[in-house]
A and B are shown apart, each in its own frame.
Chain A
C-alpha cells in the first residue's frame, strides 16, 4: 500500500525532469568482448553477456576474479580497453533518453556532512518529497534529518539504496553492498532489495561473493573466473522463495562446487 503511493508521487515528479517515458521500463544490457587490463594483467578477458530487461542477475566468483571490475565497467566508472557496453530500453533503444543506471557500492559512501535526506536527494533539485518517499520505501522515513554518523551499518546501506532508488533506476548495479553487514541485517536487506525489485521491475546486477545470497535473490547466476564467464546458470526457483529450502541448498552446493573446484570438469550450462 505504502509503496504504491510512493510510486505515484515519483511519477508525478518525474514529469518535471528529463523527457522520459513515465513508465520507466527496465533496461537491457549487452556486453561484447569486454576487456580490461591493469598494468599488463588482464582482469576482464573478452566478456560477452546479454541481460534481458527486468532480470535479476548475480555475478559470483572468488575475490580478484574481476567481478567488481565488470560491474564498474558497466557503470562507466572504468574505461574498458576493448569491447563494448550497451545499455538500452526496448527493441529500438529508448529514443534520445539514456537509461537511468545507478550503482550501490560496497561501502555506503554517504556524505557525512549532509543529513540522511540531503544524501538521498544528492544531485537533484527540489526533490525533497521524492527523497522522503524513497526513504520511506526503505523504512527510514523517521531518520531523514539525522546525520549518517549516528546510523548503523545496515541503515547506512539502506540510505544508499534509497539514494539509488530516488532516481528510478532502470538498471541497478549492486557491488557487494551487503558484504559488511551482519547475518541478520543481510537477510533483511536481501528481502528489502527483492521486494523493491519485484515492485519496480528494474534490471538488477548484483556482484557478491556469497553464493547463498546469489541463490536467494537471482534469476540467473554468472560465475566469473580469471576474467572470463565460466558459468551461466538459470536459477528457476519460484518466488517468493523459501529461505533454506532443499532446492536452494542443492543449487547452492552446485554453484559452490564450481567456485571452489576450478580444476574439475565443467558441464556446459
Chain B
C-alpha cells in the first residue's frame, strides 16, 4: 500500500516538472505537422527539422560558436561596464545625500532618453564599430541597475541601522553587514532586469552593422533567404535570454537564501 502513493507522487512531480515545457513542445509538434502537410512554405517558416539541421551544420563548421562567442563577449563587456557603473553610482548616491543632490537630477533626465534614440548620435561619435555597440549596451543596462541600487540603499530598515550602530558597527562594517545585504534584494532585481535588456540591445546593435555576432549571422541569412538560419539565430537569443535569467535567479537564490521568499 505504501508504494502506490509514493509512485503516484513521483509521477505527479515529474508531470509538474514537465508542465512549463508542454506548450513549447506542442507548438513545435504542430509546426512540424503543418510544414509536412505543406501548409507552411519554407520561405515563411522552415520545418523544425530543417532548423535542427541548420543548427547542426552551423555548429559543426564552427561558424555558430564564433558568432556566439562574439555576441557573448559583447554582452559581457557592455553589461559589465553599464552594470558596474550603475552599481557604483547607485551605492554612492544612495549612501550620500550630497552626491545624490549633485547627480541624481542629471541622471534622471538622461534616463528618460531611450537608449535606442541615441543610435544616430552614437554612430556619429563612435562610428559603427565595437565602441558604439558597447556604449549602447552600457547606457541601456546602467539605469535599471542604478535605480534599483539607489532605491535599495535608501530603503534599508532604519531600525536595523540604529541597532547595528548601537552595537558598535560603523563605517565599512556597517556597510558590509547591514546596508549592502539590506539593499541586495533590490540590487538583484536591477541586475535581472538589466540582463533581460542586454539581449534586446545586443540584437539592435548587431543588426545595425557588424561583421560577426548572432545578429550579423541572422541578418546575413535573411539576405540569402535562409529562413532556417534566421530561426537558429532567433532561438539562440531566446536560449541566451533564458540562460541569463536562470543564472540571475541562481544568484538570487544564493545571496538571498536567508529570505523565505527565495527558497
Contacts and interface: CB of A to CB of B under 8 A. Distances in A.
Interface string A84-123: 0000000000000000001101010101111000000011
27 contacts: A75-B166, A76-B166, A77-B162, A103-B166, A105-B159, A105-B163, A107-B159, A109-B162, A111-B160, A111-B177, A113-B182, A113-B184, A113-B256, A114-B177, A114-B258, A122-B164, A122-B167, A122-B169, A122-B177, A123-B168, A123-B169, A123-B173, A147-B258, A148-B258, A149-B258, A149-B259, A167-B167
Contacts of A105: 159, 163
Nearest to A107: B159
Nearest to A115: B258
Contacts of A19: none
B91 interface: no
Contacts of A147: 257-258
A150 interface: yes
B178 interface: yes
Contacts of B184: 113
B181 interface: yes
Interface residues of A, number: 20
B24 interface: no
Interface in B125-145: none
Task: Sort A-B residue pairs by CB-CB distance and give the 8 closest, nearest first.
Answer: A123-B167, A109-B163, A113-B181, A123-B168, A113-B258, A147-B258, A149-B260, A122-B167
A112 B163 contact: no
Contact of A111 (B162, B164, B173): B164
A19 to B, nearest CB: 17
Contacts of B173: 123
A163 B108 CA distance: 42
Contact of B178 (A75, A111, A163): A111
A123 B258 CA distance: 20
Given A103-B166, A113-B181, A147-B258, 6 more contacts: A105-B159, A107-B159, A111-B177, A122-B177, A123-B164, A149-B260
A76 to B, nearest CB: 8
A123 B164 CA distance: 8
A161 B260 CA distance: 24
Contacts of B162: 77, 109
Contacts of A111: 160, 164, 177-178, 181
A163 B166 CA distance: 12
A77 B166 contact: yes
A149 B256 CA distance: 12
Nearest to A101: B166
A21 B215 CA distance: 73
A102 B166 CA distance: 8
Interface in A126-175: 147-150, 163, 167
Contacts of B163: 105, 109
Interface string B148-181: 0000000000011011101111000100011001
Interface string A55-87: 000000000000000000001110000000000
Interface in A32-76: 75-76
Nearest to B256: A113
A163 B164 CA distance: 11
B32 to A, nearest CB: 48
Nearest to A148: B258
